[in-house]
Structure 1
Amino acid sequence: MVETEEIQYQPGFLFGSVTLIGRSAVLKLVGVEKETYDRLQVFLKEQSQRILLNNKTRINECFEMSEGFLRSDFYISASKKDCFARNWNQKFDEEFFVLLGKFDRNQSIDGSHFEVSSLLLKIKAVLSLKFHFEELVRQRNEDFVKQELDRHRKIFDSVEARPLTEEQRLAAIYFQDVNILIASAGSGKTSSLVGKAIYALKKKYFEPQEILMLAFASEAAEGLKNRFAEALAKQNMRMTPDIRTFHSLGMLIIQTVEGARPQLAPWAHKGDLFKTVLEDIVKEVCLDPARDAEMTLLVSTLMFGNATSYEQRVYYQDLFNDDLSDTMEMKNSARERTPSLRTLNGEQVRSLEELIIANWLYLHNIKYVYEKETEILRNGEEQGTRRHFNPDFYYPDVDVYHEHFALDRNGEAPAFIGEKYVSIVEWKRKYFQESQTRFFETHSSMFLDGSVLPFLKAQLSTFGLNPEPKNLDSESAEFAEAKDALIGHFATIIKQIRNQGKTSQNLDVKPFDFLSQAFHNLVLAVLKRYEHALRKNNLIDFEEMLIRASLYVENRAYRSPYKFICIDEFQDISQGRRRLVKALLDQHAEASLFAVGDDWQGIYRFAGADLDIFTRAEKYFGVTQELFLTNTFRSNQGIADAASWFVQKNPLQKKKAVVAHDNRRKGVLDVLSYDSDYGAFPEIEKQLQVLAKELTAKNERAKVFILSRYNYLLPHPSKIREWNKVYSKNLEILGTSFHGSKGLEADYVFILGMNSGPMGFPSIKNDHPFVQMYMPEADVFPYAEERRLFYVALTRAKRKAFLLTRKGIPSLFLQELLEIPNANTYFS
């Protein structure tokens, strides 16, 4: 009978009709007396009420479960929400909620009875949560946050030397599964970490031993420990969270699982020693006969720099390098725009493909002459005259010529060379045939399909030359220089690979052409030998700490006690570190991550940092709450405005409006220009004199930074010492690089090298494309990391920043900064 939700009576002449209305059907009964209708209505009312009361236990249980969830004394995270919904729906199936809906809609139930009325109110509350779950949880969380702000006001006022800001308090209270706090320079990131952990302990969300706080450097970890000790003392709390570096954590995990502390490789702390180790490994790889072709390609490419485009590989001067050129003007124009490349043998060649061939010949003891001048006798109109041309390679021991033509598989030249090229190729072929000169040819297409070196070796053997690898220990200065560059690249690449938690077994790099494939073959060979060297000597390096620790956590050989993980400087995290953190979180369903950082200060891609983990945390960790710290206690508003406006020109950076406690804007930036390479330091000294005089009048001291993109531009340490001695009463002066200044601050900052050009700023020198294959994906916005680096330099300044530039070659960044709205306000 409960299926009937409403009953209606329609009177007639003698009898009426009764309509029974259900949720899915309507039944009409005719010929019903009014008295029968009244009895039916009473029966339905009593029956519905009886069924309702029969379900009161389950209704109360459902209501108490839902109310207990909404009134819980914690922030409802996504995992808590999902856990409740899963348990709720398992205990109370869909049929039960359908029944509640019928009770709620049944108008015949007498609500005047207290118990019935109470049950009906509970049903409404349960159904509201059922059908408006997300909205009610969101509103409940907002109410909870407001209550907590008031309830814990005293803690937030006293946990640090300065009361926490509203933003810092919100960051402490919000407890999503993954919480990313997007900070500004000088906004109190450490205070936020301390406040969050103290709040979590006060709320008894976690025990102290369940909290892990991670820093990247030992100094940062020690600083965090000191801040925590002070905060805990203020709150009369004794037990402290586990605060350590990532590498210290990795070592702890390994030692716990293996029962002994592994021995750290002696080169782990010493870059020069690491390079020596790699030098021995590279030497072994290069002596391997199976790698001789890759070695040649590798050395040639590294000597060539960053150019690997097809045009640069095959750009020849065949049109212009002999007397067949139509005009001297054409020849000179071509020489000006054609790259000139030095081989291991010391001569200059005109394309990367020629460079590779020449170096392979040199390294295999094949004597050759590059572009040997050849005299020919002209026929026809100029019969009897002698002209000259220069075939690419000549092998004097067997009197054989070798031309390398920029032709594809169809015998056609690329469009950028010009139509005349193919006709000259045909002319050369005809000349060699008619003069019965021994010669062979190779083509650019052979580089694309990888056949060029095997073909070259076979041709030379046909003419009686047998290539044999040189003894690499006795190579020329050119080879030593190339080998040193090679080892430097391998040092960078191996650390990049291992920082990402990769090994030779799971490296998933995709080479983009024949040359990059050859390079990758060598990378794998070197990496395998390096891994073998670690295993053979039972050693571990810093990268191995994270790789091995991650494996132990993932396979549950290590049982993690950590349920709440906090990370400082999260913008610097690598894929290897992310893997370890994710594995730790996955061991506990109730685990939470709190990561603090500033994507505007992401400047360590070269060291393996992957900014994508910060900017798209949800992709890597799941449901994420983003909060902001926009109040800065360091720079004044003028510097904050200029730096923020500049860095946000990149649309991929997180957007925020920075508010400074110091509201000064006027004259906080100054441009100092000079005439010569050595003119920057006198300009600095002039300003130091002015600052010292002003500070003396105020009886104040100030800190000064002299910063540069490149260390070589900085004043010599002796000059810094001299200035510190002269101005010791008022100034403390430090010189360092942009990267070295990260995390530091000064009253005044001088930024050197704001020039354009190859060694200017932003740096236009990119990592070699082969190296970039192993690095985290770069930003698509031009000079994105250089832009963030300038932001870091600017925001070291509390009072004023001086930008130094040589007259006539201002930096692109300086020109852009001068375009800031109301520039006259900010610049002196």
Structure 2
Amino acid sequence: MTGLLFGGARTIELDGDIVQVTERSRTSTISLADVVAVPAVRRTLLGATLSIATGSEESIILRGANRRDALAFSNHVEKAWVEYNISALEREADRFSSLRAAVTALARPTRYPAACAIQVILDEARSFDDAVLSKLRMEAIGSEAASLVAEVRTFVAEPRRIRNTAIETFVIAELERWKDFFDTIESKPLTHEQRLSVVVDEDATLVLAGAGSGKTSVITAKAAYLAKAGIRSPEEILLLAFAKNAAEEMSERVQARSGVALAARTFHALAYDIIGLVEGSKPALARHAADDALFIDTIKQILKDLVRSDPDVAKAIIKWFAQFFVEPKTEWDFKTKHDFYTHIEKLDLRTLQGEKVKSYEELQIANWLYENGIEYEYEPVYEHKVASAGRRDYCPDFSLVESGIYIEHFGVRRQTMPDGSERLTTAPFVDREQYLAGIDWKRETHSAYETTLIETYSYERQEGRLLSSLADKLAPHVTAKPRPPAEIFDRVVEMKQVDNFSQLLGTFLRKYKGGAYSVADCETKAKKLNLGRRAAAFLSVFEPVFEEYEKRLEGRIDFEDMILRAARYAETGRFHSPFRHILVDEFQDISQSRGKLVKALKAQHQDARVFAVGDDWQSIFRFAGSDIHLMRHFGDEFGGSFDGESGLHRTVDLGRTFRSIDQIAFAARAFVLKNPAQIEKQIVPAGKATEPAIKFVEVTANEGEKKLGELLASISEMSSTSERTSVLLLGRYRFLEPDLPDLQKRFPLLRLSFKTIHASKGLEADHVVLLKADGGRTGFPSETVDDPLLSLVSPEIEAFENAEERRVMYVAMTRARRTLTILASKSRPSSFVTELRKDLAAEREKSGTATHVVHECGECGGRLVDVTGEDGRRWYRCEHVRHCGNFLPACPACEVALPRREDGSPEVSCKCGAKYPTCPECRDGWLRERSGRYGRFLSCVRFPACAGKSKGRATSPTTTE
């Protein structure tokens, strides 16, 4: 075809599928695949213009052509273009038909549209679209074919929307299709959430199963559903549990409920089988592999042997116990006295000599003296009677027995001022001027009585020279006689400090092995987390302990070795996994090594799925290696990918509890969610309480048995004679177990049992009694469990204080169906008890049912506890009795309640109606009349702790009716 050359082509020819264009001396070719529309012919003054639109910006234009020739050529090109496009689609007819069927099936899916399944279709659709469909011209292939192509191209353009719609369609239909199964698989029909968790079948599905929400029913129904629906054969389903008895129970339950023979296994049994299949035989297990107590005893024995056999290691071990056994926080790490005192009391700062001290720095000094054989007394009464109005007997921090030297440790640090001068500062909550005046008074006292005073300072520890400076200052006065490491270690054993440390070492060792860490990894992380010299001291002990532990395995393997070896065989393909559905019970207890094994098994098959059931609120087995990070980041760890989005997973919240009534369920939920890292879940309680379901019983020294007996008697009186009421006694530690046979004889209407909180998981009772919820290092919360050093062998830091122990408390609370009673020390309750009481009091105050008044100490912010004196009178003293010393009498009028100051009022008021003039010096006191040298006067009831006074005479307390 030829035309005139006016800014366009001179000739255009069609040769098969190619359009050849000549412009002056240049010739180019264009495939019919690039033609986007039917050629157009337009009449002009000089004849006709032929236009052929292409995918590029410039179209082919032939001007000045004969109109008849142009129309004929246009028809010729159109026919060839249509045939080309139809032929391109027909050549891939089978592929297109298969792809379109897969896309069309998403409108009514017969299997859950999991990411792994639909990604395969999407990959094929995109590949086909790039190669064929995107090059087809809809006008060329006709409306019917164009409609079919559009279905596939819409999926390519909007895969996420289409998959989400397919999921919704499938779930609705599947729930209806299996309704009878869900109604009958368990003794009671499954809830909607339980049914949903069964039919949902994402690459990774996490079922959040709160306490008493029926998780066992879900995992049983899931296994049966997969087999009965023909989704998997029994040998393709791997059902994993953590304990042997749990695995056996699940196997029996699936068989009994559904008739499907499916053997559940523990992680260890699976790993052992994998090793046996790959290696041809199974290696011998370490003697302590299945015995936690023997494992800890092994660690203790290694410590003992190293102290006696390796001087360098012995020095490191003794240094740990003497200087770093507790977390080295000082007054400067806290904003209030109450927070500091609470921390100190929780640590139970006990020296190697056995006495309790008031600060970490005092502990360091005392232990250094003990290590070096320097006999001392802690806080002795000063050898001279010091007369000073309002002061108690002067008690220096330390006195050295042989030399008579006194040591005072002053909590001051140095601060450089803008002008370059230096001044001493105190902790945020300490009155600096008053504290410095106290230092001056002590110096003057020693000078006046010519006694020798050695001073140490907080800034010396801050500068890393507290003990070396002490040694230099004492050198002219005493001769050190260092005790042998074995003697010091025996002392540590006697004080039972080795038990806690061995537990910490054991937990660290399991997580260290399970996470495949190195000491260098830990050192790097310690620097990043600013754990300082304490981490270095710990690692200097851990490294030789770990090396000795590995030697003592003598070719045997422990459970960490077992899991990691099996995971390695799965990763490298030496073990060929038949499993395409991996169901994991109690997923919150999974460790890094177990997680690695699950991921290795899943990776062997493109369509393999992980179905995990667990409750991060009940993750309490950190000491056994569990790592909550894997559950909190479930999608990142086990999820699939689709359309460029990774970490895809589905979470189902079971929500309902079949166990606890509202007051217990909601209080437990609020308590555990104080840690923002916990996954939030909704709770539907089992019922509504008609009276307070959570109660607190205050226990004074040596009356624990009496209070427990009174409580059980009260429960027994309310019990039915037809069916014994179940009462579960819980203790944070095994040694808290009471004389159960005796209690059972005394209360035959009750079905009594005792468990540690860890051993109680999965159990429930009508009434739960939590024993000895006291503060202290071996109290509840336990300090060892949440030691910051464990962050060195965890992918994620549990920054929230007492994170694991908070979950332990949640487990304890949610064992109860009807009532939870907490027995706690009146003077030293657990911080958890204080928190719960405060939260419950606030809730009851809102509802107008408040029954317990908590008085705050005006001196430190702690709690004022009522106590009865030897004379029978009631007093109120601060819970931090060793540190604060705030002490108030009960109201003189009623002799029961505590008068309190109202904001802006010149008087304190008692609930009995009596009023007294406020003390001008302190927040809590009030003035009462006393006799003095110059007659009657008013002074604070807190005298001599407070010297507040007022002139004048007192009158009888005023009262209001």
Bin the TM-score by the shorter chain.
Answer: 0.7 to 0.9
Tell me which residue corresponds to 1:53: 86
Alignment of 1:376-395 (within 5 A): none
8 Å CA contact 1:172–1:192 kept in 2: the answer is yes
CA contact (8 A) 1:265 1:539 kept: yes
Q: Is 2:225 the partner of 1:202?
A: no
- Please list the CA deviations of residues 151-194 of structure 1 after superposition, one character each: whole Å capped at 9, or x if unmatched: 44444344333343333333222222111111233222122212
8 Å contact kept, 1:371–1:394: no
1:277: how far off? Answer: 2.8
Query: Shift of residue 258 of structure 1?
Result: 3.5
Determine if the alignment matches structure 1 residue 257 to structure 2 residue 285.
Answer: no
1:567, distance to aligned residue in structure 2 (A): 0.7
Note the residue ranges of structure 1 that are not aligned, 5 or more in a row.
112-116, 314-335, 376-387, 430-437
Question: Following TM superposition, by how much is the alpha carbon of 1:618 offset from its aligned partner in structure 2, in angstroms?
Answer: 1.5
The equivalent residue for 1:667 is: 690
Q: 1:667 to 1:712 in 2, by over 3 A?
A: farther
Q: Tell me the SS of whatever aligns to 1:803.
A: strand
Partner of residue 733, structure 1: 752
1:571 paired to 2:588: yes
| 1:746-773 deviation line (CA, Å, top 9, x unaligned) | 3x22344597755999738565746444
What is the match of residue 130 of structure 2? 94
Is the Cα–Cα contact under 8 Å of residues 285 and 522 in structure 1 kept in the other structure? Answer: no
Supply the distance in 1 between the matched residues of 2:453 and 2:715 (Cα, whole angstroms): 70
- Deviation, 1:743, is 0.7
Match of 1:227 in 2: 253
Q: 1:266 aligns with which of 275, 287, 290?
A: 287
**Which one is further off, 572-581 or 520-529?**
572-581
Aligned to 2:56, the other structure's residue is in SS state: coil
Distance in 2, matches of 1:491 and 1:396, equals: 38
CA displacement 1:27-83 (0-9 Å, x = unmatched): 455445654554344234312221022213344234223234333743232223333
| Residue 632 (structure 1) aligned with residue 668 (structure 2) | no
Q: Is 2:727 aligned against 1:704?
A: yes
Secondary structure in 2 aligned to 1:22?
coil
Asked if 2 retains the 8 angstrom alpha-carbon contact of 1:574 and 1:609, the reply is yes
Q: CA deviation at 1:4?
A: 3.9
Deviation at 1:804, TM superposition (A): 4.6
Q: 2:494 aligns with which of 481, 493, 496?
A: 481
Provide the residue aligned with 2:603 in structure 1: 586
**Could you say which residue in structure 2 is the equivalent of 1:801?**
819
The CA distance in 1 between the partners of 2:768 and 2:126, in whole Å, is: 64
User: 1:577: how far off?
Assistant: 1.9
Residue 224 of structure 1: CA displacement? 0.5
Out of 808, 811, 814, the residue aligned to residue 837 of structure 2 is 814
1:671-682 to 2 correspondence within 5 Å?
Answer: 671-672=694-695, 676=699, 677=703, 678-682=706-710
Distance in 2 between the 1:86 and 1:606 partners? 45
- From 168, 182, 185, give the equivalent of 1:156: 182
Shift of 1:228: 1.6
Distance 2:149 2:568 in 1: 49
In the alignment, is residue 5 of structure 1 matched against residue 26 of structure 2?
no
* CA deviation after TM superposition for structure 1 residue 310, in Å: 7.9
Aligned partner of 1:43 among 76, 82, 89? 76
CA distance in 2, matches of 1:298, 1:760: 19
Structure 1 counterpart of 2:222, which letter? K
For structure 2, list consecutive stretches of 5 or more residues without a partner in the other structure: 1-31, 335-343, 384-393, 417-421, 444-451, 640-647, 852-961
SS of residue matched to 1:631: coil
Question: In the aligned structure 1, how far is the partner of 2:117 from the partner of 2:511?
Answer: 33
* Residue 6 to residue 646, structure 1, CA distance change in 2 (3 Å): farther
Q: CA 1:227–1:420 in structure 2 vs 1: closer, same or farther (change >3 Å)?
A: closer
Return the alpha-carbon distance in structure 2 between the equivalents of residues 182 and 63 of structure 1. Answer: 41
Please say which of residues 552-561 and 706-715 is displaced more in the overlay. 706-715
Distance 1:218 1:666 in 2: 37
Residue identity in the other structure for 2:502: F
Is the 2:322–2:364 Cα contact (8 Å) retained in structure 1? yes
Query: Within 1, Cα distance between the matches of 2:762 and 2:436?
Result: 60
How far off its partner does 1:456 sit? 9.2
1:278 aligns with 299
How many angstroms does 1:669 deviate by?
A: 3.9
Relative contact order, higher structure (CA 8 A, sep 6+): 1
Distance 1:415 1:163, change over 3 A: closer
Q: Which residue of 2 aligns with 1:77?
A: 114
- Measured against aligned partners, the alpha-carbon deviations of 1:568-587 in whole angstroms (never above 9, x if no partner) come to 11112222321222222223
Aligned AA (2:317):
M
Q: TM-score, normalised by structure 1?
A: 0.76
Q: 1:494 is matched with which residue: 506, 509, 529?
A: 506
Q: For residues 124-163 of structure 1, give each alpha carbon's deviation from its aligned partner in whole angstroms, at most 9, with x where no partner exists.
A: 2222222222222222233233333344444434433334
Provide the C-alpha distance between the structure 1 equivalents of 2:683 and 2:354, rounded to a whole number of angstroms.
56
Residues 748-759 of structure 1 mapped to structure 2, 5 A cutoff: 748-752=766-770, 758=776
8 Å CA contact 1:674–1:806 kept in 2: the answer is: yes
Q: Is 1:65 aligned to 2:98, yes or no?
A: yes
Distance 2:682 2:111 in 1: 30
Equivalent position of 2:571 in the other structure: 554
Contact 1:680/1:804 (CA < 8 Å) preserved in 2?
no
SS of equivalent residue, structure 2 residue 264: strand
Distance apart, 1:230 and its partner CA: 0.9
CA distance in 2, matches of 1:767, 1:126: 56
Q: After TM superposition, give the deviation of residue 211 of structure 1 in Å.
A: 1.8
2:683 aligns with 658
| In structure 1, C-alpha distance between the alignment counterparts of 2:841 and 2:355, rounded to whole Å | 47
Q: Superposition pairs for residues 12-23 of structure 1, below 5 Å? A: 15=47, 17-23=49-55
| SS state at 1:705 partner | strand
Q: TM-score, normalised by structure 2?
A: 0.67
CA distances 1:370-395 after superposition (whole Å, capped 9, x unpaired)? 999999xxxxxxxxxxxx99998989
Taking every aligned residue pair, what percent have the same amino acid on both sides? 29
In structure 2, the partner of 1:380 is: none
Q: Is the 8 A contact 2:588 2:616 kept in 1?
A: yes
Greater displacement, 28-37 / 592-601 = 28-37
Q: Is residue 637 of structure 2 the alignment partner of residue 605 of structure 1? A: no
Is the contact made by 1:340 and 1:351 (CA closer than 8 Å) also made in structure 2? no
Q: Partners of 1:12 and 1:544 in 2: how far apart?
A: 87
For 2:162 and 2:40, the matched residues in 1 are separated by: 36
| Aligned-pair Cα RMSD in Å | 5.0
Query: Which residue in the other structure is 2:551 paired with?
Result: 532
The CA deviation at 1:360 is: 5.2
Mapped partners of 1:185, 1:341: distance in 2: 36
Distance 1:140 1:489, change over 3 A: same
Cα offsets for 1:536-562 (capped at 9, x unmatched): x33333333323333333344433333
Matched residue, 1:316: none
Amino acid at match of 2:208: I
Distance 1:710 1:631 in 2: 30
- Does the CA-based 8 Å contact 1:56-1:119 persist in structure 2? no
Matched residue type, 1:297: K
* Number of equivalences: 756
